[in-house]
Amino acid sequence: MDWRQNIREVEPYVPGEQPNQSDMVKLNTNENPYPPSPKVAEALAGLDPDTLRLYPDPLVTDLIDALADFYHVKPSQVFAGVGSDDVLAMSFLTFFNNPDKKPVLFPEISYSFYDVWADCFHIPYQRVKLKDDFSIDPDSFLQPNGGIIFPNPNAPTGLALPVDTIEGIVKANPDSVVIVDEAYVDFGTESALRLLPKYENLLIVQTFSKSRSLAGMRLGYAIGNEALIQCLKNVRNSFNSYTMNRPAILAGTAAVKDRAYFDRTRNMIMETREQAKEELTKLGFTFPDSKTNFIFASHRSVPAKKIFNELRERHIYVRYFDKSGIDNYLRITIGTPVQMEKLYRALREILAE
């Protein structure tokens, strides 16, 4: 016996690579190709370094108030964290804690961090099957469970469920917290927010990393009824009262307040995505009908891994998952029209070989 027997052994999540080449086209981690709102730069320029002596506001009042205002909810219904990964990890810890060890349910093809958190926190889980077209099967959540989580739209498939279908899942599971991970909701899907007044077991999680161009700042949030949010705060305050740093609070608040910029940039991305669907179809790709800032595409004759590697040699980065069931797909983030042109040109070359 030695110290190793006391270790929490985990197999970590592996994020997409972050290469740093001046000529690269980076379409591998679903970042926003546009800079954050100019109001963010203004807010950061106004940051007095002297204030960094002081701890940040543990209640994160400015950011929470701005989010509450934006989403027409009470500040007591909002929780902020260090990216939605932080919010989701804390939500697993807080809400997926049933004494009977019933499994938490999530789709078999989904955000691959869910199993990692469940393993890390020793939460039993079960992956539920998707339909043949990769869509989430709402009936798969009609079985005993200790909680439910799924992204809407789902990642990496890009497919969205209508809110009425989500309502059916939430309604059928009053004894479980249902978490809807809306990381990509701003690219053309209706949010489940309108269900909140009716269901106290629903938690909605969103991020600043995609539609608000702030992946580098690490900002995410949850919206739910006050009791759920208070439980999250209690857990957070049981290991770190100051997760949100001052620059992040300033930047996030400024970004939320600039609705016009948010609408303009997400519309640009949706437009580019619809063009990308046409271009990729012409090139021989098929894909589920994405409502996100990425397309999950498979080529009818050339293996995804080969395309991935050839693109990589040209400093064009997309995401490839070497996982059974999806190992012939590429997840391509929507970039600027210029970046997408470079991608199409490279694909034409590779596919002509």
Residues at the contact surface with ligand PMP, assessed by CB under 6 A: 83-85, 111, 151, 155, 181, 183, 207, 209, 215, 220
CB of 29 to ligand PMP, least distance (A): 7
| Residue 253, token pair as written in the block | 């608040």
Comparison of 160 and 350: residue with beta carbon closer to ligand PMP: 160
CB of 113 to ligand PMP, least distance (A): 7
Between CA 244 and CA 248 the distance in angstroms is 7
Strand partners of residue 270: none
CB of 4 to ligand PMP, least distance (A): 31
CB of 5 to ligand PMP, least distance (A): 32
CB of 155 to ligand PMP, least distance (A): 4
CA angle 123, 125, 130 (to 5 degrees): 155
Comparison of 219 and 304: residue with beta carbon closer to ligand PMP: 219
Comparison of 248 and 280: residue with beta carbon closer to ligand PMP: 248
**Structure letter (DSSP) for residue 130:** B
| Residue 275, token pair as written in the block | 């063009």
Q: Which amino acid is at 325?
A: G
Comparison of 151 and 335: residue with beta carbon closer to ligand PMP: 151
CB of 233 to ligand PMP, least distance (A): 19
Using the CB atoms, write b or e for 265-277: b if 16+ within 10 Å.
Answer: bbebbbebbeebb
Between CA 322 and CA 328 the distance in angstroms is 8
Comparison of 25 and 80: residue with beta carbon closer to ligand PMP: 80
11 Cβ contact partners less than 8 Å away, ≥ 6 residues apart: 116, 119
Comparison of 33 and 151: residue with beta carbon closer to ligand PMP: 151
Pairing of strands 220-224, 202-207: antiparallel
Comparison of 36 and 151: residue with beta carbon closer to ligand PMP: 151
Comparison of 157 and 272: residue with beta carbon closer to ligand PMP: 157
Strand partners of residue 84: none
Please give the helix or strand (H or E) that residue 144 lies within, else none.
none
Cβ atoms 160, 153 nearer than 8 A: yes
Strand partners of residue 180: 150, 204
Alpha helices in the chain (DSSP H): 38-45, 61-71, 83-95, 113-120, 163-172, 226-236, 246-257, 259-282, 304-313, 337-352
CB of 7 to ligand PMP, least distance (A): 26
Comparison of 181 and 186: residue with beta carbon closer to ligand PMP: 181
Q: Which amino acid is at 45?
A: A
Residues found in the chain: 353
CB of 181 to ligand PMP, least distance (A): 5
Q: Which amino acid is at 353?
A: E
CB of 54 to ligand PMP, least distance (A): 26
Kindly report the number of other CB atoms within 10 A of residue 7's CB atom.
7
